[in-house]
Amino acid sequence: MRLQPPHLICYFILSFLQPFLLLVLAGTNPSVTPINWDLYHSSDDLIDEIHALVHRHPDKLSIETIKSGNKGYNAEVNVVTYGRSGKESDDRSNFRILLTFGQHGRELITSELAFRILSILSEEQFLPNKNGAALNNTLDKLVIKLVPMENFNGRKLVEAGDLCDRRNGRGVDLNRNWGVDWGKKEKDYDPYEENPGTGPFSEPETQIMRKLAISFDPHIWINVHSGMEALFMPYDHKNVTPEGLPSQKMRSLLEQVNKLHCQNRCMIGSGGGSVGYLAHGTATDYIYDVVRTPMAFTFEIYGDNQTSSRDCFKMFNPVDLPSFKRLLNDWSAAFFTIFKLAPFQLDQNSTKAAEKWVSIDEYLDGYLLERKNRYGKNREVIDVGMQEIKTYFRLFLLSSVLLMFMFCSRIAKSKYSRNPIPVMQ
């Protein structure tokens, strides 16, 4: 049947608009890459594999699950500790390294790297072209705490289909929930991506990580992400790096890693000055400024900048086997280079002797967590009990100050009564 004139008009209009309609439809329903379960573990399987690995190597590895919650939201964080020769993690003579992976749920590759590092530490896997004896000599001097999946609840959301979600289980970006410069919003602030929470450390995950950092008191902190290739040092919330010798040592270590393992393609510098935007309330800035860790870094280990921003799995994670294997080999080697070089870069006795000013709350959080570590008690944080202890400690300090003031006043009056000042005539 031939088209009549009115129908012809509609036909030409629709033909003209067709390319634009296709673009709109493509934008609202983009082609996205699904998670490749042939390469990646599910969150449950990965944690189970790590527990099994630790169980097979009790002479080198131990694991603890720290739980916390508030306002009906609960979270747990698994922490693996590595130490050779029966070293205790609270022995202050050790060189201490704290690594955290999987802070953003969509960055699955970071937790896979954590598992690879643990497999090498346990000697179930090996670094290619590395001398085993020299590696063992390096590791003898270290205690390493590793968090393989900081944001377990957020990872579950990604696995359920929200492949672009970076937040925790109640919609907060854990890397905007820390205490340094918390809550400040830039002009390009995205409430979906960067929700900082209702206040600093409002989230159980960041509460757990803060207490862990304070109690362990590491010489090196590395927060591992994906989205680009970069080796960042403080600061994230301003476009500068710290001044002085500590900053020079950090940059020197990053330059060596960049040369050996990134072939000089990784970006180096402050997160705020290099990535193109300022980030407020980040973990690394808090660890450096408040916990006073001498070397605090954020590593970005992968990014596909050629893909659509809506194709998040492909943007943040390698999707083919050769790329997946190459990344794990290259970056696990980079971390073992850091394990080797960092103790020589850092004069731990002089650097860690610097005074650390933390609040009473932070001190007590870290102190009590350390006691729980040492005596092997349940790691679940009981908020009410902690608050009572903090209150009693404040009252004790206040009463001590008042008693000292009264004592000094009485002494002063006693001296005055025995030796009155003569009155001038």
What CA–CA distance (Å, rounded) separates 239 from 16?
A: 48
Q: Are 194 and 132 in contact (CB under 8 A)?
A: no
What CA–CA distance (Å, rounded) separates 319 from 38?
A: 10
Residue 300 annotated in active site: yes
* Catalytic position from the list 300, 362, 370, 380: 300
Closest to 127 in 3D by CA, of 329, 321, 323: 329
Collapsing DSSP states into helix, strand and coil, what is residue 148?
coil
- DSSP-derived secondary structure for 181-249: TTT---TT--HHHH---SSTT-SHHHHHHHHHHHHH--SEEEEEE-SEEEEEES-SSSS----SHHHHH
Q: Are 125 and 116 in contact (CB under 8 A)?
A: yes
Task: Mark residue 159 as left, alpha or beta (left: phi above 0; alpha: psi -120 to 50; beta: remaining).
Answer: alpha
Token reading at 108: 């699955």
Instruction: Give me the amino acid identity at 159.
Output: E
What is the H or E stretch that residue 409 is in? Answer: helix 383-418
Collapsing DSSP states into helix, strand and coil, what is residue 320?
coil
**What are the distances in angstroms from CA 283 to CA 179, 186, 291, 414?**
8, 18, 10, 54
- Measured in whole angstroms, how far is the alpha carbon of residue 107 from the centre of its chain? 13
Q: Which residues pair with 83 in a beta bridge?
A: 143
Catalytic residues: 300
